[in-house]
Every structure is written in structure tokens, then in C-alpha cells.
Amino acid sequence: MKLTSYWLDTSEPFRSATAGPVQGSCDVAVIGGGLTGCSAALALAKKGARVVLLEAETVGHAASGRNGGMCNNGFAQDYGTMSAKLGKEVADRLYRAFDAGVDTVERLVAQEKIDCSFARVGKIKLAAKPEHYDKLARSQELLAANVDPDTEMVSRADLAREVGSDRFYGGLIYRKGAGMHVGRFVRGLAEAAARRGVEIHEHAPMTGLRPAPGGHQIETPKGRLHTKQVLLASGTSQTGPLGWIRRRIVPVGAFLIVTEPLPKETLDRLLPRRRMAVDTKNLVNYFRTTPDNRLLFGGRARFAVSNPNSDEKSGAILKAALHEVFPELRAARIDYCWGGMVDMTRDRLPRAGERNGIYYSMGYSGHGTQMSTLMGTIMAEVMDGRAELNPWKDFDWPAIPGHVGPPWFLPLVGAYYRLKDKLA
């Protein structure tokens, strides 16, 4: 079993990194080479800006190359709850922003000819308990009446046409959802940005940032750079002068396993429509197929950080969960196991904007392949004076009380959600 991301292991490496020192000046420095940063760099370069992207490790090495590759519309939370909390008008606008996120990924894949198996296969949210089905059905009624007629319910009796497992009590289908090979997508975006003249430096963490005449000065171990504007696209960063952000984002580990390639007939039985499947538990599990006919199975498993030792422990928990859902996969070999850090905000909604002349976009809270890509393109406009285009512009962002170092409270949060799942 490889303790590495299946997506990064099965995509071409990014080949167009700039060699040599970080030096000179540019219009925009983008900090972070994930989906937000690569999408922003590409959009800024298309607008004619001189862009330098600094990546602490390698392109896509963090969440963007380690996720489930699910590119789904809709909120991670229930639409009715969001509507009650934010007001219908705001909730509908944000819901449509996630639609636009999926559309943006689809458009970039076509425009930049990125071979990443993007397919609108739809998502199914699976009721893990009988009463969850009723809740999903109420949600679907509201969705269909307000923002998403491309949804439908599937009863338990009909579920075999969607999922070959008797663990679920029906489901809610979102037809606009999609899947992709996210390693090929993020590296393809970076190649597209490099083709448009973006200088992409890998192993070049921003370690210092201060105001300088006409903009900002950035320090890296590879040299320093003068830039007129800065975009922080740095996810759960623990590197560099980003304390303000670190007090607002909690890095939460999430983990995945991938089986050996399976016979097509097996997948035709387990996931006949190849949907992106997610269950309704607080400690969610999700699964999908890969372009080479494996089954990917992910979840929170444990509230722990991601590192090879922790990933392996979480992998064992996920394997047991996989066998519960699909007992016929007991004999299937697990070829990959890895984890990544999710950039959680307190309300699980992204944050983007400008503070003290520095722009930022992050906090996608585990629902970000589409939103990060969309926000990259939007932040290019915001930095060009179009702040009104930012869907998150009206959200304030207070620090999380007590969150000043490593997130000591995560095991307590994990225990709380495990108990909630048990009692529900």
C-alpha cells in the first residue's frame, strides 16, 4: 500500500517550475500553488498582469492534490438550515456560486484542454439513518422549489439502481455534481498558468511580508520579490507570517483509501451510475470510482493531523467502514492511503477579501474543489477593482476563541460528533 495521494501518483508531474532565484518585481504575487492559487494566477495572467506564484512545497501538494476529486454543487450543509440562518436571498446567491464553481471547472478543463476525466455524473447524498431520508426529502422539496430543480429523491426500494449496498435508506441526487482526476486538474491549471507567462517557484515559501513603496516586499529562502499586490491562497498554512489567518482557520485531518482496480462488473453493481456518493453522518464517509476503475473511500475517520503514521491508522478505520458499506470488497487490496488538512472555518463557509492591502481566499471547509477554482478567477477581478463580485464579501471573520496554537480542541470536537452520530 502506498502512503501517498493516488491523484498525485497517477498524474504527470508539473514540469514548468521556474528555476533559479526569486527576484525582481511583479504586479501580483500569489502565495500558494493549490487550486485557488493556480486558478487566480491563470486568470490574472490572462488579464495581462505579471504574476509570480510562490509555492512552499510543490504544486498541488496540499489539499488540492489530496482530496476526493468530487466537484459538487450545493452546500455541504442542508439548504433549509442555510436559508433560515442566512436569509433566503443570501442562501440562494451562495448556492448558485457553488453551481458557478462547477461550471468554472468545466470551462477551464475545456479551454485549457486539461485531460482530467471531468464528468457530470451527479452526486448522491445517502441517508445513513431512516429519519435522515425524511430530512433529505424535505430539503429536496425546498431545493426544487427555490434553487435546484436538478435534484431528485431515490427511495430505499429503488436504491440498488444507484448504490449496491444495503447500509443506506435512500438518497438525494444532485445532477449538476461532477467528478474529476484532481491531480491532473491542478497540475494542468499550473501548466496553463505557466504557458501564459506566470513564474511558478516551487520550494519557495513566503517567510516574510512587509509594506514597501508601491506595494509589498516578500522574503523567501530563494530570494526576495517586490510586488504591487499579494493574494494569499495558502489554505491551512503553518509557514510564514500568517498568524491572523491561523487564528481563524482550523486545520482538520481528512483521510482516503483507494482499492486496487476492480472488475467493471463489480463497479456496475456497486456504483452503476458512477455518482459521487456522500453519506449524511456528521463524521461523513464518501466514495466514488476512479478513472481506472478503483473505488475511492474517504472520511474524517479520526480528528487528527495528517502524517504517514496518522494516515495509516485512519486508513484502517476507513477500510472497516468500506467493508461495512460493501462487504464484497473484503478481499480487495488497498493500494493507496493518504490524508490531507482541511481548512475549516467556524461556520464552515469560505472567507475571501482584503485586509491591510493583502488579498486572501480560503476556508472552503472540505467543499472547495469547485469554490477554490471559482474564487481564483473571482479574486483576479476583485484585485482589479471589482470587489462587488466576491460572493463572501459581506461575511465578517472573527478569530476563533482559544485557537492560538495547534488545535488542541479537535479530539473533543471529534468525540462530540461521534456521539451525535450514535445518538441520532
Ligand X SMILES: Cc1cc2nc3c(=O)[nH]c(=O)nc-3n(C[C@H](O)[C@H](O)[C@H](O)COP(=O)(O)OP(=O)(O)OC[C@H]3O[C@@H](n4cnc5c(N)ncnc54)[C@H](O)[C@@H]3O)c2cc1C
Q: Which residues bind ligand X (CB under 6 A)?
A: 31-37, 54-57, 61-64, 66-70, 205-206, 233-237, 239-240, 254, 256, 339-342, 362, 364, 366-370, 372
Shortest reach from residue 182's CB to ligand X, in Å: 7
Shortest reach from residue 186's CB to ligand X, in Å: 8
Angle in degrees, CA 135, 314, 250, rounded to 5: 70
Contact 29, 226 (CB under 8 A): no
10 Å Cβ neighbour count for 195?
Answer: 12
Shortest reach from residue 55's CB to ligand X, in Å: 5
Closest to 38 in 3D by CA, of 233, 240, 239: 233
- When the beta carbons of 55 and 133 are compared against ligand X, the nearer one is 55
Shortest reach from residue 335's CB to ligand X, in Å: 17
Shortest reach from residue 360's CB to ligand X, in Å: 10
- When the beta carbons of 79 and 133 are compared against ligand X, the nearer one is 79
- When the beta carbons of 35 and 173 are compared against ligand X, the nearer one is 35
Shortest reach from residue 286's CB to ligand X, in Å: 7
User: SS3 letters for the chain?
Assistant: CECCCHHHHCCCCCCCCCCCCCCCEEEEEEECCCHHHHHHHHHHHHCCCCEEEECCCCCCCCHHHCCCCEECCCCCCCHHHHHHHHCHHHHHHHHHHHHHHHHHHHHHHHHCCCCCCCECCCEEEECCCHHHHHHHHHHHHHHHHHCCCCEEEECCCCHHHCCCCCCCCCEEEECCCEECCHHHHHHHHHHHHHHCCCEEECCCCCCEEEEECCEEEEEECCEEEEEEEEEECCCCCCCCCCHHHHCCCEEEEEEEEEECCCCHHHHHHHCCCCCEEEECCCCCEEEEECCCCCEEEEECCCCCCCCHHHHHHHHHHHHHHHHHHCHHHCCCCEEEEEEEEEEECCCCCCEEEEECCEEEEECCCCCCHHHHHHHHHHHHHHCCCCHHHCCCCCCCCCCCCCCCCCCCCHHHHHHHHHHHHHHC
Shortest reach from residue 331's CB to ligand X, in Å: 26
- When the beta carbons of 64 and 104 are compared against ligand X, the nearer one is 64
Shortest reach from residue 19's CB to ligand X, in Å: 17
Strand partners, 53: 30, 200
- When the beta carbons of 62 and 143 are compared against ligand X, the nearer one is 62
Please give the residue whose beta carbon sits closest to ligand X in the complex. Answer: 368
- When the beta carbons of 118 and 133 are compared against ligand X, the nearer one is 118
Shortest reach from residue 320's CB to ligand X, in Å: 18
Rg (CA), the chain: 21
Shortest reach from residue 304's CB to ligand X, in Å: 12
- When the beta carbons of 132 and 201 are compared against ligand X, the nearer one is 201
Contact 236, 249 (CB under 8 A): yes
- When the beta carbons of 133 and 204 are compared against ligand X, the nearer one is 204
Cα(307)–Cα(314) distance, integer angstroms: 10
- When the beta carbons of 254 and 349 are compared against ligand X, the nearer one is 254
- When the beta carbons of 259 and 372 are compared against ligand X, the nearer one is 372
Shortest reach from residue 422's CB to ligand X, in Å: 24
- When the beta carbons of 23 and 239 are compared against ligand X, the nearer one is 239
